[in-house]
Amino acid sequence: MKPLRIGLAGLGTVGVGVIRLLRENAETITARAGRPIEVVAVTARSKSKDRGVDLSATRWHDDAVSVAQDPEIDVVVELIGGSEGPARDMVETALTRGLPVVTANKALVALHGSALTRLSAENNAPLLFEAAVAGGIPAIKLVREGLAADRLHSVGGILNGTCNYILTEMRTTGRDFGDVLTEAQAKGYAEAEPSTDVDGWDTAHKLAILAGIAFQPIAFDTLPVHGIRDVTAADLTFANELGYRIKLLGMARASKDSGIEAWVRPCLVPAKAAIAAVEGVFNAVTTQGPFSGPITISGRGAGEGPTASAVVADLIDLARGADLPVWGVRNTPAPVACTSLGELKSAFYIRLDVEDRSGVMADLTSVLRDHDVSVHFVSQHDAAAGRAYLALVTHQAPEKAISAAITALSALPVVKGAPLVLKIEDSLQ
Amino acid sequence: MKPLRIGLAGLGTVGVGVIRLLRENAETITARAGRPIEVVAVTARSKSKDRGVDLSATRWHDDAVSVAQDPEIDVVVELIGGSEGPARDMVETALTRGLPVVTANKALVALHGSALTRLSAENNAPLLFEAAVAGGIPAIKLVREGLAADRLHSVGGILNGTCNYILTEMRTTGRDFGDVLTEAQAKGYAEAEPSTDVDGWDTAHKLAILAGIAFQPIAFDTLPVHGIRDVTAADLTFANELGYRIKLLGMARASKDSGIEAWVRPCLVPAKAAIAAVEGVFNAVTTQGPFSGPITISGRGAGEGPTASAVVADLIDLARGADLPVWGVRNTPAPVACTSLGELKSAFYIRLDVEDRSGVMADLTSVLRDHDVSVHFVSQHDAAAGRAYLALVTHQAPEKAISAAITALSALPVVKGAPLVLKIEDSLQ
């Protein structure tokens, strides 16, 4: 049977993994896809670099757009990365030609999803991106197909392995953020420029994609994003004592007024929740629906093997004739703004660094009371000489009340340094 | 757009759930499926029973085969259950007519999968059964599509909510099997005739389906199946102290000689494994592959909502044009026999009820030594007057050596009652 001919751009870890996987499992993949899948054209930054795979029978192109213009390919695989430049040019060129595209590029889909969706629909060219979210975990297929019957209440989870590794290490070793980050960089778990991961942007890109499939596309610039730099080893200890773990979560919920509540931030999750047991570089996606109930899937969120597995699964879907609209529905609505967090009620964890003298706890809790924030639990812990940590858990309160209270607390002379406020995400099972 | 017209047989919990879900989420389902999905013809045991859904506009048939013969339907949904009789007749009639079939009937697919696959292929009629395995969890889609690129090492998990509920209750309350089973029956979590669940047959049906998709169909009568009746509250306590949970697992592995190792039995799993945290009526499916790594998905394995969600997801797939072969490959191989367990090496947990007198432990461990079974750990616990429990953990040993040793141990006068032997499943992450 005629092979499905792939033009691939980007021969980093994932690109090489895709070629290796297609060759190693060729027989199985042919049986499942109904036809062979072969990479026939490639491009990358360096033609001469030895990548450990034989490319002598593969056409070389000098740039990504020219791969997308190759008349002898059936599908484009984009593994360059980045929301602009050659990645975007290549995908747009391919879709315009009516060629199906498979990409692992979360930033591209999160930021330019609407324009690409239009191109995909106009030219009847599928755009698949299973590898863009949670690596080897088929999270997109889960939501777009496996749970297509249900109108989910929520979708999200632990979407960045670097942050989860750092938080796990901080908790189990008691070391602080900077220390663990440096080690993660040395081990290759974190980039030299770690901002995309630790400031939450990678999680935000993935969450925007999940929300787009579960609900409708969201305007990325309205998504509140907060990373893990402010979380200290002390916070992880206090959370532990309270029966919680701290996880960087990206969550999206259908709110009552038919808007979408979405955010990325470190949260306290119950130690008993399925997601709390997801440690190290693992990712997890969790959904909650009126019919399907709670579902959690966990696995490796990055790396050569898992990401290649997701890219090739998309290729097999295409070979099998899959032809789904980008977000699972024809006539995708325009992106909506995320609802403002101010009115949303939640319990919160607040950690304050204060002068260690009598009456401080009473002073601080009275400020909270003045802002209608009622305290469920407070504990005091030794810090540096003459200083103490207060770890508070509030009852449910609107987030804007918490923000106002924190501003007032920060202005008090007894409060040293910036308070840390983390949402308590009690509803996860 | 023309609706997809469904003929449905069986109006129990799941059947009514399917009708309710299709109506409640009609708008969303139409958008995702690309066309409306409507139940136009039904049958069930009683026409007059009030089921809380309005069927006045739905054609009534007096039997399931006549639904499958209805000229005005596009898809048959079989929710009668049972591997023979009207369920089988209906599915065969529909496939022979070239009509796609969606079923939640695990016994039918596990026992007659080969014949139905032939009918499906000959008549180009898809046969889908997402709801047959793990209820609302899209486990079949995960393996057949999401992980289609990988040649999995293993697939399996906790596939029966009744057994998991009973084992969870026994562990947390210290009550014994019979007691908890009676309560589960009163609560509706277990059937009046509990054998299908507690003797492992339901798990076996589901495992056979998962193995068929991940590897190739297995001859069901060669699958070793053992249920949970022999497990006592004391065993759950001893396992706990050893750092394990006891779970009824169904697991299938590709073995080195290209055979398939598969079994259903209660096992000790590490308390830290993702699957150990799956409690109560929840199910979990776990896979391990060279590229995709370990993946675990958990959720509700039964009930109206989750099962209806899976059935309707299959219908949406059909409306979207899905046309996959039954086991994910054309030219399905004939079912293979499972490899014999005798040669497989594993660590085991052995619990013996013995006379409480000096030297007993030495006598018993020397019997094990004579059978080349080396003991890693042994602890003695008080039992009834003059009696003691010995809980042993062996090193890796071939299962036939364990069996021979147990036969010898059982013959000793100091050993009272039947020893319990449980596999220790250490490889789950």
Q: Flag whether residue B396 sits within 8 Å of chain A, measured between CB atoms.
A: no
Verify whether residue A400 is a known catalytic residue: no
Q: Flag whether residue A149 sits within 8 Å of chain B, measured between CB atoms.
A: yes
Our CA angle for B321, B324, B325, nearest 5°, is 145
Distance CA A359, CA A388 (A): 13
Q: Helix, strand or coil for residue A334?
A: coil
Q: Helix, strand or coil for residue B106?
A: helix
Chain B residues within 8 A of A293 when measuring between CB atoms = 136, 299-300, 303, 305-306
**Best of A297, A312, A314, A330 to mutate (most B CBs within 10 Å, chain B):** A297
The 10s digit of each residue's pLDDT in B131-148 is 999 999 999 999 999 999
Residues 6 or more apart whose CB falls under 8 angstroms from that of A256 comprise: none
The 10s digit of each residue's pLDDT in A55-84 is 999 999 999 999 999 999 999 999 999 999
* Contact (CB<8Å) B299/A294: yes
Q: Flag whether residue A418 sits within 8 Å of chain B, measured between CB atoms.
A: no
Please list the ranges in chain B whose pLDDT falls under 70.
Answer: none
Residues 6 or more apart whose CB falls under 8 angstroms from that of B92 comprise: B116, B119
**Best of A145, A154, A304, A329 to mutate (most B CBs within 10 Å, chain B):** A145
> Number of C-alpha atoms within 13 angstroms, CB side, residue A374?
4
Among B389, B373, B372, B370, residue whose Cα is nearest residue B381: B389
User: Which H helix or E strand runs over A361?
Assistant: helix A360-370
The 10s digit of each residue's pLDDT in A337-395 is 999 999 899 999 999 999 998 888 888 989 999 999 999 999 999 888 889 999 999 99
Chain B residues within 8 A of A290 when measuring between CB atoms = 305
> Number of C-alpha atoms within 13 angstroms, CB side, residue B96?
10
Q: Which structure tokens are listed for B317?
A: 């797939």
Q: Flag whether residue A47 sits within 8 Å of chain B, measured between CB atoms.
A: no
Question: Which pLDDT value is given to residue B382?
Answer: 86
Q: Which structure tokens are listed for A391?
A: 């770890």
Distance CA B81, CA B60 (A): 19
| β-pair type (B127-128, B101-103) | parallel
Question: Which pLDDT value is given to residue B427?
Answer: 84
- Please give the span between the terminal C-alpha atoms of chain B, in angstroms, as a whole number: 47
Cα maximum dimension of chain B = 81
Chain A residues within 8 A of B297 when measuring between CB atoms = 142, 295-298
* Contact (CB<8Å) B299/A299: no
The 10s digit of each residue's pLDDT in B44-65 is 999 989 999 999 999 999 999 9
Chain A residues within 8 A of B291 when measuring between CB atoms = 17, 21, 25, 136, 305-306, 308-309
What length is written for chain B?
429
Local confidence band at A141 (pLDDT 50, 70, 90 cut-offs): very high
Kindly report the number of other CB atoms within 10 A of residue A50's CB atom. Answer: 7
Chain B residues within 8 A of A297 when measuring between CB atoms = 142, 295-298
* Contact (CB<8Å) A28/B151: yes
Chain B residues within 8 A of A145 when measuring between CB atoms = 138, 141, 145, 313, 316-317
| Annotated catalytic residue within B206, B247, B256, B345 | B206
Architecture of the B147-301 domain: 2-Layer Sandwich (3.30)
Q: What per-residue string of b and e applies to A262-271 under the rule 16 or more CB within 10 Å gives b?
A: bbbbbbbbbe
CB pairs under 8 A between A and B: 178
Question: Which pLDDT value is given to residue A200?
Answer: 98
Q: Flag whether residue A417 sits within 8 Å of chain B, measured between CB atoms.
A: no
* Contact (CB<8Å) B21/A330: no
Distance CA B93, CA A140 (A): 35
The 10s digit of each residue's pLDDT in A200-251 is 999 999 999 999 999 999 999 999 999 999 999 999 999 999 999 999 999 9
CATH code: domain A140-301 is 3.30.360.10
In B34-97, where does DSSP find H-type helix? 64-68, 86-96
Residues 6 or more apart whose CB falls under 8 angstroms from that of B220 comprise: B110, B111, B204, B205, B208, B335
Among A391, A343, A410, A10, residue whose Cα is nearest residue A231: A391
Provide the shortest C-alpha distance from residue A296 to chain B (in Å).
5
B191 annotated to bind ligand: yes
Kindly report the number of other CB atoms within 10 A of residue B72's CB atom. Answer: 9
Sequence ranges of the domains in chain A = 4-132, 140-301, 342-424
Pair A334, A254: CB distance under 8 Å: no
Distance CA B361, CA A56 (A): 67
What DSSP assignment string belongs to A49-102?
---SS--TTSEE-SSHHHHHT-TT-SEEEE-S--SSHHHHHHHHHHHHTT--EE
- If phi > 0 it is left, if psi is from -120 to 50 it is alpha, else beta; for residue B124 that is left
- Please give the span between the terminal C-alpha atoms of chain A, in angstroms, as a whole number: 47
Q: Flag whether residue A329 sits within 8 Å of chain B, measured between CB atoms.
A: yes
CATH number of B4-132, picked from 3.90.1170.50, 3.40.50.720, 3.40.50.10490, 3.30.750.200: 3.40.50.720
Backbone angles phi, psi at A142, to 5 degrees: -55, -50
The 10s digit of each residue's pLDDT in B241-275 is 999 999 999 999 998 777 899 999 999 999 988 89
Distance CA B136, CA A420 (A): 39
Question: Helix B399-410 and helix B360-370: axis angle, to 10°?
Answer: 140
Q: Flag whether residue B149 sits within 8 Å of chain A, measured between CB atoms.
A: yes
Question: What integer is the mean pLDDT of A116-129?
Answer: 97
Residues 6 or more apart whose CB falls under 8 angstroms from that of B184 comprise: B162, B165, B166, B169, B190
Chain B residues within 8 A of A292 when measuring between CB atoms = 136, 299-300, 305-306, 309
Q: Flag whether residue B1 sits within 8 Å of chain A, measured between CB atoms.
A: no
Average pLDDT in chain A: 95
| Annotated catalytic residue within A206, A256, A272, A423 | A206
Question: Which pLDDT value is given to residue B384?
Answer: 81
Q: Note which residues in 8-27 of chain B have CB less than 8 A from chain A.
A: 17, 21, 25
Chain A residues within 8 A of B294 when measuring between CB atoms = 299-300
Q: Flag whether residue A37 sits within 8 Å of chain B, measured between CB atoms.
A: no
Provide the shortest C-alpha distance from residue B399 to chain A (in Å).
31
Tell me which chain A residue has its CA closest to the CA of residue B300.
A293
Residues 6 or more apart whose CB falls under 8 angstroms from that of A289 comprise: A147, A150, A151, A152, A153, A295, B309
Return the CATH class of domain A342-424: alpha beta
* Contact (CB<8Å) B289/A274: no
The 10s digit of each residue's pLDDT in A274-333 is 899 999 999 999 999 999 999 999 999 999 999 999 999 999 999 999 889 999 998 888
Amino acid identity at B180: V
Question: Helix A399-410 and helix A360-370: axis angle, to 10°?
Answer: 140
Residue A114, beta-bridge partner list: none
| β-pair type (B154-158, B244-254) | antiparallel
Sign for the pseudo-dihedral over CA of B335, B341, B346, B351: positive
Q: Flag whether residue A292 sits within 8 Å of chain B, measured between CB atoms.
A: yes
Residues 6 or more apart whose CB falls under 8 angstroms from that of A243 comprise: A270, A271, A272
Give the DSSP letter of residue B7: E
The sheet with strand A75-78 has its strands ordered as: A59-60, A37-43, A4-9, A75-78, A101-103, A127-128
Kindly report the number of other CB atoms within 10 A of residue A397's CB atom. Answer: 20
> CA separation (Å) from A302 to A136, A160, B292?
7, 9, 10
Q: Flag whether residue A273 sits within 8 Å of chain B, measured between CB atoms.
A: no
Distance CA B317, CA B324 (A): 10
Q: What per-residue string of b and e applies to B81-90 under the rule 16 or more CB within 10 Å gives b?
A: bebeebbbbb
Would you call A43 exposed, middle or buried from its count of C-beta atoms within 10 A (0-12, 13-18, 19+)? Answer: buried
Q: E strands of A260-374, at which residues? A: 260-270, 282-289, 293-300, 345-355
Distance CA A166, CA A179 (A): 10
Backbone angles phi, psi at A75, to 5 degrees: -145, 145
Pair A398, A343: CB distance under 8 Å: yes
* Contact (CB<8Å) A149/B25: yes
What DSSP assignment string belongs to B314-345?
HHHHHHTT----TTSSSSPPPPBPBPPSTT-E
Tell me which chain B residue has its CA closest to the CA of residue A147.
B313
Our CA angle for B142, B148, B151, nearest 5°, is 110
Residue A156, beta-bridge partner list: A251, A286
Q: Flag whether residue B356 sits within 8 Å of chain A, measured between CB atoms.
A: no
* Contact (CB<8Å) A316/B149: yes
Q: What per-residue string of b and e applies to A273-305 under the rule 16 or more CB within 10 Å gives b?
A: bbbbbbbebbbbbbbbbebbbbbbbbbbbbbbb
Distance CA A216, CA A214 (A): 7
Distance CA A426, CA A347 (A): 8
Tell me which chain A residue has its CA closest to the CA of residue B216.
A28
Architecture of the B345-424 domain: 2-Layer Sandwich (3.30)
A141 annotated to bind ligand: no
